[in-house]
Structure 1
Amino acid sequence: PKQMLNAIIITGIITIIIALFLIYVSFGKENIFYSILFFILGLGSIAAAVKYTMGKNAYGYTGFGDVFVFLFFGLLSVCGTYFLYVHSIDYTIFFPAISVGLLSAGVLNLNNMRDRESDAKSGKNTLVVKIGGEFAKYYHYYLLIAAFLFAFLYVIIHFRSGWQFLFIIAFIPIFRHLIIVYNNKNAKNLDPELKKLALSTFLFAFLFGLSQIL
């Protein structure tokens, strides 16, 4: 616990320093409003990460974890980064942002599906505990399939070449993962799938970004 707290503090300080540098490079002294706004959003992101499992009112144990993961790992991270570089916002950037958010929520949901019984016994009321294992599966299908559809829609709107569909490679293991989840009867067997889905989410983000510059 103490080592974890120290690690969080050190990581937080490093993150703040890097964020301040990026904000200054992007906005300088001319756009003080955006500089302050992004700094506040950065602090909010750190606070959200800490409050997920720490404190008496940890939101991760009250069923709101999925919402915060979607907002901070999806919408805020993608749209915020986009605005940081181009100083404007295009409504279609929300589509890949939604995809990343849904995939990130999928990783969390899978983790909660695996730990549903132990979470219920310890009073951790995650969304999966509230809706039950069967509905959690359907929710999982929706998250990952919708993530694909939003990314696909963005490419259709901004289509330039076939390279833009490169991100589909990342969804090959994701769709195989969905089949495994569908056939799963023992929650403990979902543990190996966590790493696969997390890496596939990273691969999607990398390939999607790469495809936009090819």
Structure 2
Amino acid sequence: MEHLAKHSPHHAWVLAARPRTLPLSCASILLGSGLAAHAQAFNPTVLLLALLTAMALQVLSNLANDYGDAASGVDNEKRSGPLRAVSSGLLTPKAMRSGMFVTATVAALFGLLLLLAAFGNQWMQILIFILLGAAALLAAVTYTVGLGGAPYGYRGLGDIAVFMFFGLLGVLGTYYLHTHELNWLPFLPAAACGLLATAVLNVNNVRDIESDARCGKITLAGRLGREGAIMYHWALLGLALVLTLIYLVVLPVPLLGWSCLLVAKPLTDAARTLRHTQDGKVLTNMLKNTAFSTLLYSVLLSIGLAYF
């Protein structure tokens, strides 16, 4: 384990916030904004505030995950992943709860500013999105911190939440904030983005499959077993690429937009690594590569749509 003495309080909070996860939280926002740009309804203020809100929610989720996994005993010396702040003693549970409250408040403020920028005085739409935002806040906290029961992340439901919030709701919600309308075609890239984000979670869960099982944390990867989880991973990638191909052909999208398919190579390379190694450090690097590829997918497709 890393030597704890070199971590200042500032570094402890950076460690808990996990800044390397923030680009993935931006993927759905960027893609939804690219779809809006294609519809000639792009609002830069909405993009900026949506990114700030998404990143605040991601940090909140990371803090809650650090706190919840330490409380449940999932984070311990046998864990394969990076050092965690509460379980290592760098931050106390009380300090982490305070950090979660502050981060939730910041996320709520950014969210309200976002809704005012998007809808002005259209209070019914603002109310609907406030409810969606409250659901996102609740989901961020209760992934590993249960309310009156086991956290849903410990019951194999994390994949569904990631698919919804990093895919359908993230992309389509952002698209609607820009355009104030929906149609069926954006569902295809939104679902593809959610599937790729779910693949990132699956890498994390496969890496930790043994340590999670010892502590009673039930993930979908744990239910499927290692071999089943690897097959599931290939299914996520394959379906995401098929949905993207359908979208590119039906729209149709010019050659620049097709560049998003370049991520197929790093994604499949990482998936092969998942089958051939159980080394925690290697799988952590694979997780980073899969997350970066998901972000790159959204950026390349968004650029192609914006200049179409």
TM range (shorter): over 0.9
Counterpart of 1:38 in structure 2 is: 129
C-alpha distance after superposition, 1:43-98 (max 9, x if no partner): 11111011001124210000101011111111100011111111110101111111
Instruction: Provide closer, same or farther for how the CA distance between residues 202 and 8 of structure 1 changes in structure 2, counting only shifts above 3 A.
Output: farther
Residue 196 of structure 1 is aligned with which of 289, 294, 299? 289
1:171 equivalent in structure 2: 264
Q: How many Å separate the matches in 2 of 1:8 and 1:95? A: 34
Match of 1:138?
A: 231
For residues 144-177 of structure 1, what are the alpha-carbon distances to aligned partners after superposition, in whole Å with 9 as ceiling and x for unaligned?
A: 1211111221111111421110212223211211
Q: Which has the higher contact order (CA 8 A, sep 6+)?
A: 2
| Equivalent of 1:119 in 192, 197, 212 | 212
Whether contact under 8 Å (2:260, 2:297) holds in the other structure is yes
Seq. identity, % = 35
Q: Is the 8 A contact 2:254 2:304 kept in 1?
A: no
Alignment of 1:13-52 (within 5 A): 13-29=105-121, 31-52=122-143
TM-score normalized with structure 2 length: 0.66
State the alpha-carbon separation in 1 of the partners of residues 292 and 94 from structure 2: 29
Q: Whole-Å Cα distance in 2 between the matches of residues 6 and 107 of structure 1?
A: 28
Q: Is the 8 A contact 2:266 2:293 kept in 1?
A: yes
Please name the residue that 1:68 is paired with.
161
Residues 1:147 and 2:236 aligned together? no
Structure with greater proportional helix content? 1
TM-score by length of 1: 0.94
Query: Is residue 305 of structure 2 the alignment partner of residue 212 of structure 1?
Result: yes
Q: Pick from 131, 135, 145 the counterpart of residue 54 of structure 1.
A: 145
Decide which moves more: 169-178 or 136-145. Answer: 169-178
Question: Structure 1: any 5+ residue segments left out of the alignment?
Answer: none
2:174 is matched with which residue? Answer: 81
> Hey, what's the Cα distance between the residues in 2 that align with 1:9 and 1:191?
29
* Counterpart residue type for residue 143 of structure 2: Y
The one-letter code of the counterpart of 2:113 is F
Secondary structure at the aligned position of 2:156 is classed as coil
Q: Aligned residues, how many?
A: 212
